């Protein structure tokens, strides 16, 4: 398919037919790339849809941060708690975990994180494909609104 790119072409070889052939070849390559991207986004959307409901607002909160930004985890957890995204379980148990501990569990469920030597999490990142899903889903969820509009 790419052999047409490796051939040296003279000025005379740029006929209407050869240009049309190259154009069709390029269109096929672009179509294949777009199909792959669509499949990737479809898979990411299915992954988002299969998240437990309690994790979806936390995931969407990542959409407020710039792409590939090192998100300070302690601050993120405090913001999740302040926004009301983390609720303590309503059980009759006396030893209910702190909301910050629940938030850290949510974070561990959502992302692969780099851990410090003491086992804690220092920062996390959101990459562009996931960021696109965050932004897209946040815009479509009319019931979801965060106090902070952007980082």
User: How much is the pLDDT for 70?
Assistant: 84
Residue 143 predicted with pLDDT over 70? no
The domain limits of the chain are 3-49, 56-140
Phi, psi (deg, nearest 5) at residue 123 = -150, 165
User: pTM above the 0.75 mark?
Assistant: no
Distance CA 91, CA 3 (A): 67
User: How much is the pLDDT for 71?
Assistant: 84
Exposure letters 6-34 (e unless 16+ CB within 10 A, then b): eeeeeeeeeeeeeeeeeeeeeeeeeeeee
Q: Is 36 exposed, middle or buried (0-12, 13-18, 19+ CB in 10 A)?
A: exposed
User: How much is the pLDDT for 32?
Assistant: 92
Q: pLDDT of 69-103, one tens digit each?
A: 888 888 999 999 999 999 877 766 667 788 888 99
Chain position carrying tokens 């804690």 = 120
pLDDT average, residue stretch 28-47: 86
């Amino acid at each position: 398919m790419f052999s047409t790119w490796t051939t040296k072409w003279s000025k005379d070889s740029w006929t209407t037919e050869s240009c049309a052939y190259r154009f069709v070849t390029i269109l096929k390559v672009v179509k294949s790339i777009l199909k792959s991207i669509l499949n990737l986004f479809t898979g990411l959307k299915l992954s988002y849809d299969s998240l437990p409901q309690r994790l979806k607002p936390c995931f969407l909160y990542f959409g407020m941060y710039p792409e590939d930004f090192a998100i300070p985890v302690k601050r993120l957890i405090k913001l999740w708690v302040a926004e009301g995204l983390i609720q303590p379980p309503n059980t009759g148990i006396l030893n209910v975990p702190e909301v910050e501990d629940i938030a850290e569990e949510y974070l561990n469920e959502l992302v692969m994180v780099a851990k410090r030597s003491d086992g804690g999490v220092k920062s996390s990142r959101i990459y562009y494909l996931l960021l696109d899903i965050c932004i897209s889903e946040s815009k479509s969820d009319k019931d979801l609104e965060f106090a902070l509009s952007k980082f």
